[in-house]
């Protein structure tokens, strides 16, 4: 009798294998990589990185076909896992930035560590978590995706086992990351407790308006946001970022500062647009403060840095503040514009920042130093590298015609669209900060173009082919997004399935 | 708005042709300086040829209308379009930018400043040219912003890499000031767009024609705030007092070519922005801001002149004179009358020709004497007479001698401030403007003072014995440069490249001075068209 | 009755948690963790979530704490970390203050919300499947339905995560083969 009852109740979930293909390719690829690593001789380990790159490109393929075939929303598991344009664009972003990180890594790992199989396995796992995050539409999936992308990242940050800085990086990242997860999980359970559902859309319906917004709901919202604020290293939850960025291997630093951060913002956007749309009186002031403080403090600290990786770390903290800006006005402003601004910022920032780190790697092969002062004379002995670095820095500073201006433009537009005093204030704070940020980007440019080489060594830099490829991809993308921003997928994001009252 | 769409590829070609040269130069090895120079020169000549063709094909009977108009979707989601067009205001500036770039490249043939690297230097110059030309023909706010900013980095590197002793400080100051201005400017552009498009989520446009139609409709307080953002952006570039402090440093430290371009074209981007964007789009705010602008302009005139009198360095003196001259331009604009704006646009071109020429001269003097200290220079007329006479000619033009181009920028501007626009009179600002007329007139006297004094000290009298072959020759700078007793090799008179580069400017100064109508008749219909909103 | 069970269980949980943090000896700390976990299990029983209660006892109190104890024994029971070194003197008072503030905030929030009938509003939502208490294993049915329909993807992918955790652990614990002992250069330092 019981079996009959169960059978009648249980409906086999519909699985759309085409929609899940990127995850499946990645999952199979991860297992393949582990096995492959077992049977490869030490001399042929380079194959691992090639295979890892191919797996990532293979996973992009279904993303492309899904994008081409239809714009209809594919929803699975009772709306808990959704493939729409938003998630497709971001999946492509994660997979491609993962590919660039693989390109950046392959030379790096060959020279530094024997654990190549494990390195790429963990990298792919982390990317898989991000790919999931783009589609996750309920608290459980969001949390699993978050752990999926974080746990391998803790390990990757501590990759250079004998380097105390790397150990410190891994340890700090792990402890603060786990703490953030705990805070977030507590917030999630509060949200579940008051709404009775883990689906973001349901939560969005239950958390309605200020009059019903009881204290527990407020706490839930704030805790969840705090959890992700750690992930995106918003001030004052940013303290791990510089140490971790400095200690981790450079490709991993690039990966953390771009992809991992983007995943945090994706989750934050999902929550803001799907779970809290009616609670704008709670999240908007909170995010407003976070954004303003993050931009300002990140910039001021970046000004003082002498080490390029730390400088880029603080710069990425401050850039994160710019991405928070549209979210801080998502309710009062135009939600669609805000969402687009976030996604486009993530895409352009990814191309630019990955490129900047690729240059850092290329230069450090010669100078063996991360000091900003060691970039002196770069324009004389490696004009190409100096030029592309200038491109990336100008893009980060938001100078047309390089991509960054369009990202900043979108953020400003979204904020001003709200037309409130708070929004105008935020826009002006951000505008002033743009100038402050220009000051430290320009310091590096000045070093490269106008100072002599510190040790007088002007022999040319030999840039390995994989780094050249990474530089070309990111450089072309940065320039193309600036000149023809239409390509950045801005137009494709017509909405987030389930958001905006649909 | 009426537009003429004939030959609508012409402006794109003229704007982006220099970039083609840049791409070619990328493939020239760094050591092959001759080829790099040649490619740059050919590109610049081709660009000027396109510009000349534009001049010929321009329909002077309809110079109020945008000609060679082209419009395409560019960034559809944000309603930004790729719109180019040229009317009577843009035409002289557009062509001037091309000519100046060509002349500067000719001048660079044997004047590549230290530390060399002609390839990079000329590539930056061509990029700069694209930005400048694009700014003058863009008819879309976003496109304008992009071109406006393209100029920033090449100029920064030009000052910072090829500049003088204090180049890093000067270039950083230039960069941060401009960046500050443009950040606020961008915010106000977006605010303007959002306010004009109404409450619809989609709709609106960044095209100039949209703002001309809908800008005057927005609430006055909002308009005043938006104007404030634009004001900072453009005023930094002009530069207006109190945002001018980057200018003397940048000019003094920049290489000659950089100074020429900076003075002749880049400063005009700011005033052009006022004429083309801030004032026509936000007329109600302009009326409120005009008195403040006029006052700042007059402070600039007097302050610049006094600054000049205090300078000991010739190049720095010319830089301060720029502050004063741009004050006249801004005063003309602030009157909001067709006469004033006509004078301003004329003044922009005239200042470009004259001050550009003065910076060329300063560069050549520096090359010959290895110093620009006024008290060490003297007797130029005896030593290098042709250069001395040209300097005298330019000083006369700069102080506004009737019959030379400078006069037609200053004089009508002063006249127009006696009778500002009806809207300003209605606001009770007539007395203020009349006071300013007197102040500005005083400024011209001061201008005569500092320029004649400069000329008298540098050109008249006996040559400084330090620089004659009988002199001590012990001064470290010249001794190091010449290593011996003979200064003759450095102290040559105007050479061929200089003649080629300078003659067109000198001729233009005379022609526009004698027959200003040549330019006024092109500018006037367009200015009248833009200033219609203010009545009168 | 309900309130009595709740208070007792809550007291167990809190005492256990405090013990984990304050007790110096690692074995004692691990044992007070058991207290906490048992308290949670009691709360599960009080909510009729028998399956979860059993899982809690078997997996957490049974397996995981035993594993902890193994590790503590392997590393040496008598090793005591010196926790008195304080780089920043203000840290500890600051932590206490913010901890108390947070606790106050939580209590205030709960008190403010106590009059809102949350369950009544939540019950109508599509995602909620009330446990059927008329079946003697209703818990298991509800749980498995949830895991294998709505959350099946997250559930399945967690297995990959476990594999990766194993890979990472092996990597951490593995003795170096001499190659990564080479001094790293200043590439990112």
Measured between CB atoms, does A332 come within 8 Å of chain C? no
Give the separation between CA A111 and CA C187, rounded to whole angstroms. Answer: 12
Distance from CA of B497 to the nearest CA of A (A): 28
Q: What is the pLDDT of residues B224-260, one digit of tens each?
A: 999 999 999 999 988 888 888 899 889 989 998 999 9
For the cut 90, the answer to whether the pLDDT of residue A128 exceeds it is yes
Report residue C40's pLDDT band, with 50, 70 and 90 as the boundaries.
Answer: very high
CB burial of residue C140 (10 Å; 0-12, 13-18, 19+): middle
Q: How far is A212 from chain C (nearest CA, A)?
A: 8
Please tell me which residue, A489 or A162, carries the higher pLDDT value: A162
B152 interaction partners in chain A (CB closer than 8 Å): 399
Neighbouring CB atoms inside 10 A of B379's CB total: 18
Instruction: Tell me which chains share at least 3 CB pairs under 8 Å with chain A.
Output: B, C
Give the nearest partner residue to A370 out of C148, C153, C188, using CB atoms: C188
Q: Which domain holds residue C161?
A: 136-174
> Is A336 within 8 Å of chain B by CB?
yes
pLDDT digits (tens, 9 = 90+) for B20-47: 999 999 888 888 888 889 999 999 999 9
Model confidence at C131: pLDDT above 80: no
Domain boundaries, given as residue ranges, for chain A: 279-502
Q: Is residue C184 part of a domain?
A: no
The 10 Å Cβ neighbour count of residue A465 is: 10
Q: Which residue of C has its CA nearest to A121?
A: C164
Q: Find the mean pLDDT for residues C91-114.
A: 84
Q: Please, what is the average pLDDT of chain B?
A: 87
- pLDDT higher than 50, residue A501: no
Q: Looking at per-residue confidence, does B363 or A499 come out higher?
A: B363
Contact with chain B for residue A289, Cβ under 8 A: no
What pLDDT digit, counting tens, does each position of B382-408 carry? 888 888 899 999 999 998 888 888 898
CB contact under 8 A, B201 and A438: no
Taking only the tens place, the pLDDT of each residue in B314-347 is 889 999 999 999 999 999 999 999 899 999 999 9
Residue C133: what are its φ and ψ, rounded to 5°? -85, -5
Across A324-340, average pLDDT: 86
Measuring CA to CA, which residue among B344, B341, B340 is closest to residue B418?
Answer: B340
Compute CA distances C95 → B380, C89, C91, whole Å: 77, 11, 6
**Token pair 């209809």: residue:** A72
Q: Please report the residues numbered 416 through 455 in chain A whose beta carbons come closer than 8 angstroms to any beta carbon of chain C.
A: none
Residues of A in contact with B153 (CB under 8 A): 390, 394, 399
Tell me the three state secondary structure of residue A494: coil
pLDDT at position C185:
40
Of A270-279, B118-127, B466-475, give the lowest mean pLDDT range: B466-475
Q: What is the spatial distance between Cα B13 and Cα B421, in angstroms, rounded to a whole number?
A: 39
Using the predicted structure, report yes or no on whether residue A296 has a pLDDT greater than 90. yes
Q: Does A216 sit within 8 Å of C135, measured CB to CB? A: no
Chain C CB within 8 Å of residue A248 CB? yes
Q: How many whole angstroms separate alpha carbon B15 and alpha carbon A88?
A: 38
Q: Do chains A and B touch (3 or more CB pairs under 8 A)?
A: yes
Average pLDDT over residues A88-117: 82
Query: How high is the mean pLDDT of chain C?
Result: 77
Say how far apart CA A291 and CA A418 lie, in whole Å. 15
pLDDT computed for residue A268 by the predictor: 92
pTM for the whole thing?
0.89
Q: Given B160, B161, B187, which is nearest A431 (Cβ)? A: B187
- How confident is the model over B448-455, as a mean pLDDT? 89
A34 CB-contact burial (10 Å; exposed 0-12 / middle 13-18 / buried 19+): middle
Indicate yes or no: CB of A214 within 8 angstroms of CB of C112: yes
What is the pLDDT at residue A4?
45
- If one compares A172 and B2, the residue with the highest pLDDT of the two is A172
Q: List the subunits that have 3+ CB pairs under 8 angstroms with C.
A: A
Model confidence at C58, pLDDT cuts 50, 70, 90, reads: very high
Give A185→chain B minimum CA distance, Å.
Answer: 36
Q: Which two tokens stand for residue A356?
A: 């900047």
Asked if pLDDT for residue B130 goes beyond 90, the answer is yes
pLDDT for residue A191: 86
Q: Which residue has the higher pLDDT, C120 or A370?
A: A370
CA–CA separation, A51 vs A32, rounded Å? 9
A42 vs chain B: nearest CA distance in angstroms? 41
**In this complex, is the C-beta atom of B514 within 8 Å of any C-beta atom belonging to chain A?**
no
Q: pLDDT category, B375, cuts 50, 70, 90?
A: confident
Measure A254 CA to nearest chain C CA, in Å: 12
CA distance A418 to chain C (A): 30
Cβ neighbours of A428 in B, within 8 Å: 184, 187
Residue A437, preceding peptide bond in cis (omega within 30° of 0): no
With tokens 């000896």, the residue in question is C25
pLDDT at residue A235 in the model: 84
Residue B84, SS3 per DSSP: strand
Return the H-helix or E-strand segment holding B455.
helix B430-459
Hey, where are the domains in chain B? 10-469+487-534
**Is residue A49 very low, low, confident or very high in pLDDT (cuts 50, 70, 90)?**
confident
Is residue A262 within 8 A of residue A335, CB to CB? The reply is no
Which two structure tokens, joined as six digits, stand for A6? 């169960």
- How confident is the model over A198-244, as pLDDT tens digits? 888 888 887 765 555 677 888 888 999 999 999 899 888 888 888 89
Check: CB of residue A256 under 8 Å from CB of residue A264: no
Cβ <8 Å between C121 and A206: yes
Q: Does the structure show a pLDDT above 80 at C132?
A: no
Q: How many residues does this entry show for chain A?
A: 502
- Quick one: average pLDDT of A104-129? 80
pLDDT value at A184 more than 70 = yes
Phi, psi of A331 (to 5 degrees): -85, -45
CB atoms within 10 A of CB B297: 28
A407/A482 Cα distance (integer angstroms): 9
Could you tell me if B228 lies within 8 Å of chain A, comparing CB atoms? no
Number of domains in chain C: 2
Residues 6+ apart with CB under 8 A from C23: C29, C32
pLDDT tens per residue, range B179-204: 899 888 998 999 899 888 876 656 78
Residue partners of B45: CB distance under 8 A and separation at least 6:
B102
Residues 6+ apart with CB under 8 A from A336: A494, A495, A500, B201
Contacts of A400 in chain B (CB under 8 A): 145-146, 149-150
pLDDT of the residue at A494: 56
Look at chain B and count its residues. Answer: 536
């Amino acid at each position: 009798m019981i079996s009959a009852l169960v059978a009648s109740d249980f409906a086999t979930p519909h699985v759309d294998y085409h929609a899940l293909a990127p995850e499946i390719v990645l999952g199979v690829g991860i297992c393949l990589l582990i096995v492959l690593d077992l049977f490869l001789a030490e001399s042929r380990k380079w194959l691992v990185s090639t295979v890892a790159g191919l797996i990532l490109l293979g996973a992009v393929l279904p993303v492309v076909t899904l994008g081409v075939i239809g714009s209809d929303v594919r929803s699975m598991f009772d709306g808990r896992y959704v493939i729409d344009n938003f998630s497709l664009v971001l999946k492509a972003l994660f997979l491609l930035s993962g590919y660039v990180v693989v390109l950046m890594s392959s030379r790096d790992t060959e020279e530094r560590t024997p654990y190549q199989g494990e390195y790429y396995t963990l990298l792919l796992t982390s990317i898989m978590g991000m790919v999931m995050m783009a589609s996750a539409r309920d608290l459980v999936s969001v949390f699993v995706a978050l752990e999926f992308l974080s746990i391998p990242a803790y390990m990757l940050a501590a990759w250079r086992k004998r380097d105390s800085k790397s150990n410190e990086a891994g340890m700090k990242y792990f402890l603060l990351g786990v703490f953030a997860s705990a805070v977030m999980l507590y917030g999630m359970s509060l949200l579940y407790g008051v709404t009775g559902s883990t689906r973001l859309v349901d939560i969005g319906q239950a958390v309605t308006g200020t009059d019903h917004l009881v204290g527990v709901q407020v706490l839930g919202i704030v805790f969840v946001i705090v959890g992700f604020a750690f992930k995106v290293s918003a001030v004052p939850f940013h303290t791990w970022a510089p140490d971790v960025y400095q200690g981790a291997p450079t490709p991993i630093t690039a990966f953390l500062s771009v992809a991992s951060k983007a995943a945090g913002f994706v989750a934050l956007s999902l929550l803001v647009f799907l779970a809290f749309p009616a609670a704008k009186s709670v999240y908007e002031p909170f995010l407003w403060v976070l954004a303003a403080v993050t931009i300002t403090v990140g910039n001021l600290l970046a000004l003082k840095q002498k080490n390029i990786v730390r400088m880029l770390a603080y710069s990425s903290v401050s850039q994160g503040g710019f991405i928070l800006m549209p979210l801080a006005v998502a309710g009062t402003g135009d939600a669609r514009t805000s969402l687009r601004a976030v996604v486009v910022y993530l895409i352009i920032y990814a191309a630019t920042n990955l490129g900047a780190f690729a240059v850092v790697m290329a230069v450090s092969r010669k100078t063996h130093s991360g000091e900003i002062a060691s970039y002196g004379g770069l324009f004389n002995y490696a004009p190409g590298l100096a030029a592309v670095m200038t491109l990336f820095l100008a893009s980060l500073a938001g100078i047309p015609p390089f991509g960054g201006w369009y990202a900043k433009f979108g953020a400003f537009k979204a904020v001003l669209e709200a037309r409130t005093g708070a929004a105008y204030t935020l826009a002006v704070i951000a505008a002033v900060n743009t100038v402050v940020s220009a000051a430290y980007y320009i310091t590096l440019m000045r070093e490269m173009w106008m100072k002599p080489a510190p040790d007088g060594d002007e022999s040319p830099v030999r840039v390995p082919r994989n780094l050249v490829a990474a530089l070309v991809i990111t450089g072309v993308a940065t320039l193309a997004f600036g000149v023809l921003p239409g390509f950045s997928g801005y137009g494709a994001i017509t909405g987030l399935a389930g958001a905006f009252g649909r | 708005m009426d537009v003429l769409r004939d030959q609508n590829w012409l402006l794109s070609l003229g704007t982006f042709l220099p970039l083609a040269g840049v791409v070619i130069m990328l493939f020239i090895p760094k050591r092959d300086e001759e080829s790099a120079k040649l490619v740059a020169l050919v590109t610049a000549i081709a660009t000027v040829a396109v510009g000349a063709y534009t001049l010929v094909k321009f329909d002077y009977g309809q110079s109020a209308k945008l000609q060679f108009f082209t419009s395409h979707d560019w960034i559809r989601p944000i309603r930004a379009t790729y719109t180019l067009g040229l009317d009577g205001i843009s035409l002289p500036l557009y062509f001037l930018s091309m000519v100046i770039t060509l002349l500067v490249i000719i001048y660079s043939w044997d004047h590549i400043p230290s530390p060399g690297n002609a390839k990079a230097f000329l590539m930056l110059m061509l990029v700069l040219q694209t930005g400048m030309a694009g700014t003058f023909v863009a008819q879309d706010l976003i496109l304008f912003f992009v071109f406006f900013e393209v100029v920033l980095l090449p100029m920064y590197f030009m000052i910072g890499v090829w500049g003088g002793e204090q180049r890093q400080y000067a270039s950083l100051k230039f960069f941060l000031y401009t960046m500050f201005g443009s950040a606020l400017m961008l915010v106000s552009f977006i605010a303007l767009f959002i306010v004009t498009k109404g409450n619809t989520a989609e709709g609106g446009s960044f095209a100039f024609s949209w703002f001309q139609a809908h800008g005057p409709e927005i609430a006055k307080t909002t308009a005043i705030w938006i104007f404030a953002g634009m004001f900072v952006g453009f005023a930094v570039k002009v530069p207006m007092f109190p945002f001018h402090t980057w200018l003397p440093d940048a000019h003094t430290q920049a290489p000659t070519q950089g100074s020429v371009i900076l003075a002749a074209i880049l400063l005009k981007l700011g005033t052009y922005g006022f004429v083309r964007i801030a004032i026509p789009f936000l007329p109600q705010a302009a009326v409120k801001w005009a008195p403040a602008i006029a006052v700042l302009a007059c402070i600039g005139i007097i302050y610049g002149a006094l600054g000049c009198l205090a300078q000991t360095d010739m190049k720095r003196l010319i830089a301060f004179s720029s502050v004063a001259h741009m004050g006249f331009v801004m005063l003309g604009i602030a009157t909001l009358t067709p006469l004033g704006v006509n004078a301003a646009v004329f003044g922009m071109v005239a200042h470009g020709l004259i001050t550009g020429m003065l910076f060329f001269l300063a560069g050549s003097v520096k090359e010959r004497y290895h110093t620009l200290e006024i008290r060490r220079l003297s007797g130029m007329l005896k030593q290098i007479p042709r250069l001395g006479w040209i300097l005298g000619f330019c000083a006369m033009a700069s102080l506004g001698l009737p019959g030379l181009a400078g006069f037609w920028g200053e004089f009508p501007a002063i006249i127009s401030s006696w009778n500002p626009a009806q809207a300003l009179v209605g606001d009770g600002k007539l007395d203020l403007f009349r006071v300013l007329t007197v102040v500005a007139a005083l400024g011209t006297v001061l201008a005569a003072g500092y320029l004649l004094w400069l000329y008298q000290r540098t050109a008249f009298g006996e040559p400084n014995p330090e620089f004659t072959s009988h002199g001590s020759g012990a001064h470290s700078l010249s001794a190091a440069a010449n290593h011996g007793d003979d200064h003759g090799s450095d102290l040559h008179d105007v050479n061929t490249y200089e003649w080629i580069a300078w003659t067109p400017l000198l001729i233009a100064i005379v022609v526009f001075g004698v027959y200003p109508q040549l330019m006024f008749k092109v500018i006037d219909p367009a200015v009248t068209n833009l200033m219609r909103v203010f009545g009168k | 009755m309900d309130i009595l069970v709740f208070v007792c269980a809550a007291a167990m949980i809190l005492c256990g948690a405090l013990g984990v943090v304050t007790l110096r000896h690692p074995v004692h700390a691990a044992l007070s963790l058991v207290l906490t976990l048992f308290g949670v299990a009691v709360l599960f029983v009080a909510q009729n979530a028998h399956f979860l209660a059993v899982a809690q006892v078997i997996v957490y109190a049974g397996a995981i704490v035993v594993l902890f104890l193994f590790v503590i024994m392997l590393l040496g029971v008598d090793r005591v970390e010196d926790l008195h070194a304080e780089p920043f003197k203000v840290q500890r008072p600051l932590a206490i203050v913010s901890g108390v503030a947070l606790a106050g905030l939580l209590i205030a929030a709960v008190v403010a919300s106590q009059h809102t009938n949350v369950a009544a509003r939540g019950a109508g939502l599509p995602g909620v499947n009330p446990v059927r208490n008329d079946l003697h294993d209703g818990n298991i049915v509800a749980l498995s339905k949830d895991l294998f329909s709505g959350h099946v993807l997250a559930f399945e992918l967690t297995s990959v995560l476990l594999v990766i955790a194993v890979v990472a652990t092996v990597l951490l614990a593995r003795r170096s083969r001499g190659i990564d002992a080479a001094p790293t250069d200043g590439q990112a330092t």
